[in-house]
Amino acid sequence: MSKVVIIGGGWAGVSAAVTAKNAGGDVLLLERTEMLLGTGLVGGIMRNNGRFTATEENIAMGANEIFETVDATCRHTNIEFPGHKHASLYDIALIETAIKNLLLKKGIEIKFQARAKDVKLDGKRLQAVVLDNGEVVEGDVFIEATGSAGPMNNCIKYGNGCVMCVLRCPTFGGRVSIAEKMGIQEKIGQKDGAMGAMSGSGKLLKESLAKEIVETLDRTGVAVIPVPKDMEKKEGALAKKACQQYALPAYAENIILLDTGHAKIMTPYYPLEELRRVPGFENARYEDPYSGGIGNSMRFLALSPRDNALQVEGAENLFCCGEKAGLLVGHTEAIVTGSLAGYNAVRFAMGVAPLVLPESLAIGDAIAHVKEQMNTEEGLGLKFTFSGSVYFQRMQEKGLYVADKDEVKARVEAAGMTGIFRKPIAN
């Protein structure tokens, strides 16, 4: 049985672990903190706009278990908020344990507080990663799912400083790029000469908000509160967001909250004294990042060059997924790239050519399009997501956006991809 080592236990890493296990791999997942999911611990938005299509494509291809676990923890389903339809909001207090239990039930080994800091190489072949405690972890094939945010010095250099976000670099150590340790030149996303992009939302303690706001959130999942004219956000502030699908006028003219357990505030940061001027927010306090009145984490600072099978270029046996795979924003985007990377890692280890998804599917098109765009100066200044901005527009123009499950299933079947991720690999 081929040993698959996955570095990083966010949405991409856990999804890669599931498909690698289903494909017949012996899977070890390394997570540098004491919990899985990374930014998924404070995220919560699923199935909005084109993410519905991508979700159902992945399910039809056989990578259903992660999404079914998410659906079982949702606080709200089929909701609308400015610019977004048929969204689901999962409960951030329940999701991590549910995902961890899924992985353990499947026999996937998880090592927590296992930060990979170095590599052992044989030419371009990765033999092992070295952990903080000196342990050497060998494998036949590796998947890097370390994300593109952190370490602290990047948030200090390119952002507003360390704002004590859920990534908790001071406690567990910052992200280390495995590809970079292998001598592979990575790319950096940028915008108007600035490097990276700022995470696009924060978390407010729901109990710190006015009773009527809390009641609205609990009942509907969404609260839209107009701000005084002199407090409306300028266009430049919205442009800082990694999540450009929310860079719409409604997010400048209102405070938009979503109920994920805490109150998810849809802005990179909001100065606390200013926020407390808005009726209903007089006692507001941040839960993530703790200094959310000052800034947020910086992302897209380490993007691996890769092919459309998600194999890292310049490395013989390394695959990537999530934000490591390019300027893809969001949990769904991480899950679908993780699913492909996990499956392909086992194919590679067993001597079978890795799979490239057809571009007749939204997932296949997105993976190919983002690779193409990352090779251009203009493309490095963009962010891509199924849920909005330039890629959702592309989905609609190409007829890839579908909100009907049966139609998505038919498309996957026509592409010959039905159940592909459920099939063990035979060499």
What is the rounded CA–CA span in Å between residue 27 and residue 21? 6
Please state the CATH superfamily assignment of the domain spanning residues 3-195+298-422 in this structure.
Answer: FAD/NAD(P)-binding domain (3.50.50.60)
Q: What is the mean pLDDT of residues 67-85?
A: 97
pLDDT digits (tens, 9 = 90+) for 21-40: 999 999 999 999 999 999 99
Cβ-Cβ contacts under 8 Å for 73 (sequence gap 6 or more): 90, 91, 94, 95, 98
pLDDT averaged over the chain? 94
Domain residue spans of the chain: 3-195+298-422, 200-288
* pLDDT band at 232; cut points 50, 70, 90: low
Task: Return the CATH number of the domain spanning residue range 200-288.
Answer: 2.40.30
Residues 270 and 236 sit within 8 Å (Cβ to Cβ) = no
Query: What is the tally of helices (H) and strands (E) in the chain?
Result: 15, 20
Whole-number Cα distances in Å, 43 to 59, 166, 334: 21, 10, 12
What is the rounded CA–CA span in Å between residue 130 and residue 147? 18
Cβ count within 10 A of residue 107:
9
Cβ-Cβ contacts under 8 Å for 285 (sequence gap 6 or more): 204, 205, 208, 272
* pLDDT band at 389; cut points 50, 70, 90: confident
Whole-number Cα distances in Å, 257 to 1, 236, 303, 419: 47, 21, 30, 37
- Up-side HSE of residue 268: CA atoms within 13 Å toward CB? 26
* pLDDT band at 1; cut points 50, 70, 90: confident
* 3-195+298-422 and 200-288 agree in CATH topology: no
Q: For 186-195, 306-315, 317-326, which range has the lowest pLDDT when averaged over its residues?
A: 186-195
* pLDDT band at 64; cut points 50, 70, 90: very high
The helix-helix angle for 11-22 and 95-105 (nearest 10°) equals 20
Residue 236 pLDDT: 46
Residue 235 pLDDT: 46
